[in-house]
Amino acid sequence: EIVLTQSPATLSLSPGDRATLSCGASQSISSSYLAWFQLKPGLAPRLLIYDASNRATGIPDRFSGSGSGTDFTLTISRLEPEDFAVYYCQQYQDSPRTFGQGTKLEIK
Amino acid sequence: EVQLVESGGGLVQPGGSLRLSCKASGFTFSKYAMSWARQAPGKGLEWVSSISGSSDITYYADSVKGRFTISRDNSKNIVYMQMNSLGAEETAVYYCSKRSTTRGGIDDYWGQGTLVTVSS
């Protein structure tokens, strides 16, 4: 199965900062079937980015995804208070669909 | 508006069984595949199972194959997960999700989850 490794595990930033989250794959995701989700306690996981770079419905344009092959990035251009959460990447090219271990974005 | 509401979680003893339900609304349920995933305390997300819109195709993670059964009732807009022989390591929040019909089939909408605790 494809193993996804996210870095850093924790990112401490302030509102207004730029956040860069990375997701590395153990083998090429040649289809670019790579997504990013936001998780907050007690809430439904929220799809942010699909197909590596497409924003999901209703997602603000401060969220952007990029990358190909084995290296992918989620960028949040200017952090808002509501953006502090845990972020997961997921590949859906191969079965089983796998997730990274998550990056916790916390307020500095 | 797409809504997914899970229910059926609770405390169950090791080796026991539980059936989860996920009630869907806001879309034509029978046209979409549905999935279950879980998140154990302090751990990441894990995909568990998926079912096609017509129930003719089902998929399971190796960790649950033979013990979990996914099914759906398109007349009631509900997807189920029957879980048997539960172990303590399966304590988790279980989420259902709707699979999109885009080329890759991303799970685009998720419920808030239901907590399953396996403990004596």
Task: Give the pLDDT confidence score for residue B104 in this predicted structure.
Answer: 85
Please tell me which of the candidates B95, B104, B107 has its beta carbon nearest to residue A51: B104
* E strands present in A1-108: 4-7, 10-13, 19-29, 34-39, 46-50, 54-55, 63-76, 86-91, 98-99, 103-107
CB contact B27 to A (< 8 Å): no
CB contact B88 to A (< 8 Å): no
Task: Give the pLDDT confidence score for residue B43 in this predicted structure.
Answer: 92
Question: Which H helix or E strand runs over B4?
Answer: strand B3-7
pLDDT exceeds 90 at position A76: yes
pLDDT exceeds 90 at position B18: yes
Average pLDDT over residues A68-97: 96
What tens digit of pLDDT does each residue of B94-110 get?
A: 999 999 998 889 999 99
CB contact B73 to A (< 8 Å): no
Angstrom CA distances, A78 to A50, A65, A75, B59, B78, stand at 20, 14, 9, 39, 39
- In the numeric block, which tokens belong to residue B13? 């003893």
Distance, CA of B78 to CA of B71 (rounded, Å): 9
Nearest chain B alpha carbon to A3? B46
Beta carbons of A72 and A91 less than 8 angstroms apart: no
- In the numeric block, which tokens belong to residue B19? 């059936």
- Transcribe B48-79 into DSSP letters: EEEE-TTSS-EEE-TTTTTTEEEEEETTTTEE
Task: Give the pLDDT confidence score for residue A55 in this predicted structure.
Answer: 97
Mutate to test the interface with B, among A50, A55, A89 (most CBs of B within 10 A): A50
Given its phi and psi angles, is residue A77 left (phi above 0), alpha (psi -120 to 50 degrees) or beta? alpha
CB contact A99 to B (< 8 Å): yes
What tens digit of pLDDT does each residue of B27-79 get?
A: 999 999 999 999 999 999 999 999 999 999 999 999 999 999 999 999 999 99
Average pLDDT over residues A59-85: 97
What lies within 8 Å, CB to CB, of B82 at 6+ separation is B17, B19, B68, B69, B70, B71
- In the numeric block, which tokens belong to residue A32? 């670019």
CB atoms within 10 A of CB B3: 14
